[in-house]
Amino acid sequence: MEKHELQVVIEDLHERYGRLTTGEVATYIPELSKADPERFGIAMVSSSGQLFKTGDCDVPFTIQSVSKPFTFGLAIEAYGAERVSQYVGVEPSGDAFNAIELQHGTNRPFNPMVNSGAITVTALLHAKYGRETFDIILDRTSKAAGRPLVVDEAVYESERRTGHRNRAIAHLLLNFGLVHDEAESAFDVYFRQCAILLTAVDLATMAATLSNMGQHPVTGDPVFDLTSTRAMLAIMFTCGMYDYSGEWAYRVGVPAKSGVSGGVMAVVNRQLGIATYSPRLDTRGNSARGIETCVELASRFGLHAFDCLNVGSSFLTTML
């Protein structure tokens, strides 16, 4: 049987960008420095559940910051958008993901995709769910992936031991009353959520769940409601790639989120979930191969949100 065109293309990208060796594996969480820099996987899942994959797609890595949109979605569902916005904004910060800063005037974190915002969101969930918070996060991310996910205890321990910068952020939040007094427990949940283990196939499936308006692409299970799905996609579109978010929106033009272990998740609304895994990061903390792969995929298939009338996207719609 002839290979599907999307499969041919991802194999070609894998071959070409696999030669790219720029960037460095993150080392500030000691356990992450053990990652094999050569790992490279690309996976795509259509909103109707078709899977395309190549390379190291079944190699587990920790979700890290890619967990942030999901916890934000959970907070929207738990509190409503209005209430959440009293604690965290929706503006790109233009600064590094771990910047120790809050928005001038409001003293809120700029958005839930930077560490200060994500810690605030997890603390909000913790204020509501207490000890069950992590299980609720794990359960929902597992539902989005379509299989039970687990935590990499070594990465969790490693970050808990060394995450002083995040601790400083948590104290700043405490100072402004943005997190409750049990900040330390909430904070522990944040480290655990970052250490959830998954593969590029899982991540592409989670992206496809978002592309499919919150329903799992294969089982049809409702995972997120429409309001939270819209909120997650919007915030990923404007803030998902840290201080590269503007350029990403310009060049790739789809909601996305990256993580420091080398994962990138991108969502083509109503069509496709894309995930790449490659641990070498560029200076902004985004996977170097992941970025190049997504840039080329977007231009080849017209995935950019504002390409919607061109031949490319109609081409993709008819292919899936």
Give me the residues that bind ligand GLN (CB under 6 A), please: 64-65, 97-98, 115, 159, 166, 194, 259-260, 285
Catalytic residue at 158? Answer: no
Q: How far apart are CA 185 and CA 180, in angstroms?
A: 10
Residue nearest to ligand GLN (CB): 65
Considering 242, 254, 258, 268, which one is annotated as catalytic?
A: 242
Considering 53, 68, 143, 257, which one is annotated as catalytic?
A: 68
Catalytic residue at 201? Answer: no
Considering 87, 190, 244, 277, which one is annotated as catalytic?
A: 190
Catalytic residue at 260? Answer: yes
User: Least distance (Å) from ligand GLN to the CB of residue 185?
Assistant: 17
- Helix, coil or strand: residue 276: strand
Considering 201, 260, 267, 268, which one is annotated as catalytic?
A: 260
Q: How far apart are CA 220 and CA 242, in angstroms?
A: 31
Q: How far apart are CA 95 and CA 83, in angstroms?
A: 25
Catalytic residue at 65? Answer: yes
If 0-12 CB within 10 Å is exposed, 13-18 middle and 19+ buried, where does residue 7 land? middle
User: Least distance (Å) from ligand GLN to the CB of residue 291?
Assistant: 14
User: Least distance (Å) from ligand GLN to the CB of residue 62?
Assistant: 8
User: Least distance (Å) from ligand GLN to the CB of residue 229?
Assistant: 22
Q: Is 192 in contact with 249 (CB distance < 8 Å)?
A: no
If phi > 0 it is left, if psi is from -120 to 50 it is alpha, else beta; for residue 270 that is: left
Name the amino acid, one letter, at 229: T
- CB under 8 Å to 8, separation ≥6 — which residues? none
Residues annotated as catalytic are 65, 68, 190, 242, 260
